[in-house]
Amino acid sequence: MNLTLFLSLQKWYNRYMKTIENSTKNQLNNQEESIEVLQNKCALLEQENQELSAKVAWYEEQIRKGAHQKYGASSEKTPDDQLSFFNEAEKAMRPNLKEPDLEEITYKRRKSKGLNKNTWADLPVEVIEYHLPDEEESCPECSHPLHIMSKEIRKEIKIVPAQVKIVEHVRHVYSCRQCEKDNIHTPVITAKAPAPVIPGSFVSPSLMAFVMNRKYTEAIPLYRQEQQFVNFGIELSRQNLANWMIKGSDWLKFIYDRLHERLLMETYIHADETTLQVLSEDKKSATSKSYMWLYATGKFGPKIFLYDYTPSRAGKHPKSFLQGFKGYLQTDGYQAYNDVEDVTIMGCFAHARRGFVDAIKALPKNADTSTTLAKEGRDYCNQLFHLERGYLELSQEERYTKRLEYSKPVLEAFLAWLNTNKPKVLPKSGLGKAITYCLNQWNKLETFLKDGAIEISNNRAERAIKPFVIGRKNWLFSKSPNGATASAIIYSIVETAKANNLSPFHYLEYLFERLPNIDITNSKKIDGLLPWSESIPQSCKVPSEN
């Protein structure tokens, strides 16, 4: 083989091998690219699967939560026995426990029954005695007279229905006959009589107090009272009743304003708000929402509960009502309260706990609640409330010391738990929202450590606003802003009276008797009518046994 042919074959061979090598490299590169594409696609699908699973879990949680709100109990108590209903027998079983005998069961059951008859001590007593007829007072054996050996007494509670009567106030007018005879100026003197609560009206202090108490304490709307008055033989239109409520609130406004001044002097106030429908508001539709705000003093101050009607939920309303107040303001976390100046906003651990309770209620039936994070969060809140119950009878200084010693370590552990578990849960889940709420509100939640006079929760305000919510379910709406304002004033007086252990009816009757007959510009006279005043008659007070 000549050299030229050999070189030619060698070049051809090199080109051939290079072609094969390039082809092999291309195949390997294509395979690597295909594997990478498939891996990326698998990762993308896995991520989408996780997102869809999270969405499905969130929707299922919302469905369970909605079903519980519609059909379940409204209580926030979540005892472990309730959460593990189907294995209750196994959990409660105690093989070595001796069974009680029948006598013990009967005694314990009977002991819990009956009435507290000490509450009957202040009731009037009507005695009805039963004797034998004259023809039966002789002994059936020997015919000698019988004598009373003992008595059998049976007590009943008798109800006397309300009675209606007319009261005529007759003012006698006097003159001097001697002056008339001497034909000189004759003085005419009229006997004094108490001023009416509404001049020119037949409504009495007792009738106005009766209607007002039934609507604002017993939640009986005016149209039902109108029907019930027919049973008394009286036809009173609900328009008359409504006018009395508004005009009566004009008198109560003097008490309300004085209570407002006293409220602003406190260093600690609760606040809450709820919706209200007012039909005839300027530049608003009849279906739009208005609001009723509630402001209450703390445990260690005078017991004051004030309602304030406003057409909106804007922050300017609490700012205006609390102008001049300086201290701690405890709320549910609503941002509008941040506009109030010169106050320290406090959080509410009842709201913090409620988030974990809702998360527990939204768990599927087969969830092991003993190991869920929601239960752990709820247990931290329960522990804080358990400690607070032990501080109820302590002074402000003692509560402050005990909280630093026992409650502060629980708070620190709870905060560490929140920070640790926040990345582990879905932000939009019930548990995620509960954790986020606690962390966002933490500076406000831990404020209760600063002063022994303040509370761990805003439950005081929530309990106080509940009577209004119950009443709203019966009368549904207010017709006008004047009616809503009157309702706010009357609810304030009624709830403050109840908090000070006064009977709302008797206290309202007393106010309507006194207010038209005193100098209402004299603050000392008004102070004498406040619910905690020593001058309030005993007839207005509820016996402590009750």
Q: How far apart are CA 329 and CA 347, in angstroms?
A: 9
Phi, psi of 268 (to 5 degrees): -150, 125
Residue with tokens 């582990």: 424
Structure confidence by residue, pLDDT tens digits, 182-192: 777 778 888 88
Mean pLDDT of the chain: 80
Query: Does 17 have pLDDT greater than 50?
Result: yes
Q: How far apart are CA 502 and CA 536, in angstroms?
A: 9
Query: Does 236 have pLDDT greater than 90?
Result: no
Structure confidence by residue, pLDDT tens digits, 402-453: 999 999 999 999 999 999 988 888 888 888 888 999 999 999 899 989 988 8
Q: How far apart are CA 191 and CA 200, in angstroms?
A: 19
Report residue 121's pLDDT band, with 50, 70 and 90 as the boundaries.
low
Query: Does 93 have pLDDT greater than 50?
Result: no
Query: Does 99 have pLDDT greater than 90?
Result: no
DSSP track, 438-484:
HHHTHHHHGGGGG-TTS-SSSHHHHHHHHHHHHHHHHH--BSSHHHH
Pairing of strands 343-346, 327-330: parallel
Q: How far apart are CA 494 and CA 475, in angstroms?
A: 17
Cα 312 from chain centre: 20
Query: Does 91 have pLDDT greater than 50?
Result: no
Burial class (CB in 10 A: 0-12, 13-18, 19+), 56: exposed
The stretch 333-347 carries a mean pLDDT of: 87
The stretch 372-384 carries a mean pLDDT of: 89
The share of the chain scoring above pLDDT 70, in percent, equals 76
- Whole-angstrom CA distances from 83 to 57, 88, 136, 360, 384 are 20, 9, 68, 9, 22
Q: How far apart are CA 140 and CA 124, in angstroms?
A: 38
Query: Does 138 have pLDDT greater than 70?
Result: yes
Window from 64-68, 378-382, 530-534 with minimum mean pLDDT: 64-68
Query: Does 81 have pLDDT greater than 50?
Result: no
pTM exceeding 0.75: no
Q: Which residue has the higher pLDDT, 46 or 175?
A: 175
Q: How far apart are CA 333 and CA 352, in angstroms?
A: 10
Q: Which residue has the higher pLDDT, 225 or 473?
A: 225
The stretch 345-351 carries a mean pLDDT of: 89
Helix or strand run (H / E) with residue 276: strand 268-276
Task: Quote the pLDDT of residue 515.
Answer: 94
Phi, psi of 305 (to 5 degrees): -130, 115
Q: Which residue has the higher pLDDT, 81 or 53?
A: 53
Report residue 510's pLDDT band, with 50, 70 and 90 as the boundaries.
very high
Query: Does 483 have pLDDT greater than 90?
Result: no
Task: Quote the pLDDT of residue 415.
Answer: 93
Q: How far apart are CA 292 and CA 278, in angstroms?
A: 11
Most confidently predicted of 84-98, 284-298, 392-406: 392-406
Query: Does 201 have pLDDT greater than 60?
Result: yes
The share of the chain scoring above pLDDT 90, in percent, equals 29
Q: Which residue has the higher pLDDT, 259 or 48?
A: 259
Q: How far apart are CA 415 and CA 420, in angstroms?
A: 9
The stretch 236-249 carries a mean pLDDT of: 89
The stretch 107-115 carries a mean pLDDT of: 50
Return all residues near 325 (Cβ < 8 A) that are at least 6 apart.
Answer: 263, 264, 266, 269, 340, 342, 343
Query: Does 527 have pLDDT greater than 80?
Result: yes
Burial class (CB in 10 A: 0-12, 13-18, 19+), 322: buried
Task: Quote the pLDDT of residue 88.
Answer: 38
Window from 121-125, 236-240, 397-401 with minimum mean pLDDT: 121-125
Q: How many residues does the chain have?
A: 546
- The two tokens of residue 79 are 């005892």
- Contact indicator for 256, 455 with CB cutoff of 8 Å: no
Quote the crossing angle between the two packed helices 222-231 and 238-264, to the nearest 10°. 130
Report residue 529's pLDDT band, with 50, 70 and 90 as the boundaries.
very high
Structure confidence by residue, pLDDT tens digits, 149-170: 888 887 777 777 777 888 888 8
Q: Which residue has the higher pLDDT, 174 or 27?
A: 174
- Contact indicator for 294, 531 with CB cutoff of 8 Å: no
- Contact indicator for 493, 252 with CB cutoff of 8 Å: yes
Window from 130-139, 172-181, 229-238, 376-385 with minimum mean pLDDT: 130-139
